[in-house]
Amino acid sequence: MTTPTHSSRPSDRPLGVAAIGYAFMGKAHSNAWRNVASFFDVPAFEQKVLVGRDATQVADAAAKYGWAESATDWRSILERDDIDIVDICAPGWMHAEIAIAALEAGKHVLVEKPLANTIAEAEAMTVAAAAARGKGVQSMIGFNYRRVPALALAKELIAEGRLGTIRHIRAAYLQDWLADAESPMTWRLRKETAGSGALGDIASHAIDQVLYLLGDAVTEVTGRLHTFVSSRPGPDGPEDVTVDDAAWATLTLASGAIASVEVSRMATGQKNSLKLEIYGDKGSLLFDLEALNELGFLDATLPVREQGFRRILVNEPEHPYLEAWWPQGHIIGWEHTFTHQIRDFLTSISAGEAPSPSFEEGLNVQHILAAVEESAAAKSSLIQLNATTQTSIEGA
């Protein structure tokens, strides 16, 4: 089979996009594709095909979400010359197969997190991504919270040294959708189908933020996992919950900073609260995803008399991504992070540059998650990681 390459596209043809999946993430990604060009200068593209298993449902979803066509076989789109980009919103266990095939077919690939359900699959994907990258075919993993303007601003402030030496980070991701012990069994609560529980689902975001914001690598990990409700009602009676409801970890970073990570699906009253606190010797930052337009910043270089955490409403044209939207004080929502992600992905493709976060960065997060599990299994003992093999966050 001849591998078609991206360069075969005539420069004046819009990029053809196909997306796979139309559930929660597919809806969010579709929304981003539908709107990105209304706000940002991006290379021309077309929402060509939405792929799903059920022909009727995917046709309906395609019509609703702005896709020209629908299809039921993801392999079919890899053979089409008019498809340049494949956006994978399918379940985690399908990621590796689709992504590797798409990359080999010369398609740029965006894949939702987690990169894959197993380290082996994730590693195979990074091999494919590296090979494709050599041919100008790009790939990216969808840690969309990197595109929250407040967090992008946080990264800028840290990179500029405004926090000085960072000592420790408190990262938590708290939800409560499993707080009710009578809430029924689902595939998300079985290890076979979901891989892990809160750890893979939301600790992955929290850990990615630590790596992203600090541009650092992890050298040591301790972890604990716990399932508070170990049996839930299934259709035929009680079933065992085989993933964690909550997880705790500490991460030592190569810089010497220490991060605590705590995630839960049982934190009654916390709906989607990714909380970050970053403490440096010159300043500190606070963030909560439930108020994602805001960043707390304390500048410890000011006179003590006037120090305090500022609530920066990250909504000015001076802030990352914001010039494209509305006047100051007109806040944006959660979904906008996906629009920013698509914008950055398209811009990288257009510039022939590797977008970040790369598959390698996704794999890196998965190694850390695996170390948390390993530690939890070994009575929380410290697990060593090799920082030097970790991909630099900054690309390179």
- Site map 170..209 versus a copy of itself, x via CB under 8 A: x-x--xxx-xxx----------------------------
Residue 275 tokens, joined: 């909380």
Residue closer to a copy of itself, measured from CB, 103 or 322: 322
Phi/psi at 262 (nearest 5 deg)? Answer: -140, 125
Q: Where are the beta strands (DSSP E) in 139-226?
A: 139-142, 166-174, 218-226
Residue closer to a copy of itself, measured from CB, 90 or 295: 295
Residue closer to a copy of itself, measured from CB, 63 or 120: 63
Residue closer to a copy of itself, measured from CB, 107 or 147: 147
Element holding 175 (H helix, E strand): none
Identify the CA nearest to 89 among candidates 98, 81, 80. 98
- Non-local (6+) Cβ contacts of 145 within 8 A are 151, 205, 208, 209, 274, 289, 337
Residue 146 tokens, joined: 């990197």
Candidate residues 20, 129, 158, 312; the one interacting with a copy of itself per rule CB under 8 A: 312
Give the number of residues in contact with a copy of itself, rule: CB under 8 A: 96
Candidate residues 54, 79, 240, 318; the one interacting with a copy of itself per rule CB under 8 A: 318
341 by Cβ neighbours in 10 Å (0-12 / 13-18 / 19+) ranks as buried
What is the distance between the alpha carbons of residues 309 and 297, in angstroms, rounded to a whole number?
A: 5
Q: What are the Cα distances from residue 220, in Å, to 67, 194, 266, 348, 365?
A: 45, 25, 27, 33, 13
Identify which range of 138-146, 188-196, 211-219, 376-384 contacts a copy of itself by CB under 8 A.
Answer: 376-384
Q: Determine the residue type at 73.
A: D
Candidate residues 8, 379, 388, 396; the one interacting with a copy of itself per rule CB under 8 A: 379
The answer to whether residue 382 forms part of the interface with a copy of itself (CB under 8 A) is: yes
Kindly state the smallest distance separating residue 386's Cβ from a copy of itself, in Å: 17
The answer to whether residue 147 forms part of the interface with a copy of itself (CB under 8 A) is: no
Candidate residues 21, 26, 195, 283; the one interacting with a copy of itself per rule CB under 8 A: 283
Candidate residues 239, 277, 350, 387; the one interacting with a copy of itself per rule CB under 8 A: 277
- Site map 16..55 versus a copy of itself, x via CB under 8 A: --------x--xx-xx--xx-xx-----------------
The answer to whether residue 304 forms part of the interface with a copy of itself (CB under 8 A) is: yes
| C-alpha radius of gyration, the chain, whole number | 21
Kindly state the smallest distance separating residue 162's Cβ from a copy of itself, in Å: 8
Identify which range of 115-123, 221-229, 233-241, 358-366 contacts a copy of itself by CB under 8 A.
Answer: 221-229
Residue closer to a copy of itself, measured from CB, 148 or 363: 148
Residue 265 tokens, joined: 């699906």
Q: Determine the residue type at 347.
A: T
Q: 221-235 as b/e, with b when 16 or more CB fall inside 10 Å?
A: bbbbbebebeebeee
- Site map 327..366 versus a copy of itself, x via CB under 8 A: xxxxxxxxxx------------------------------
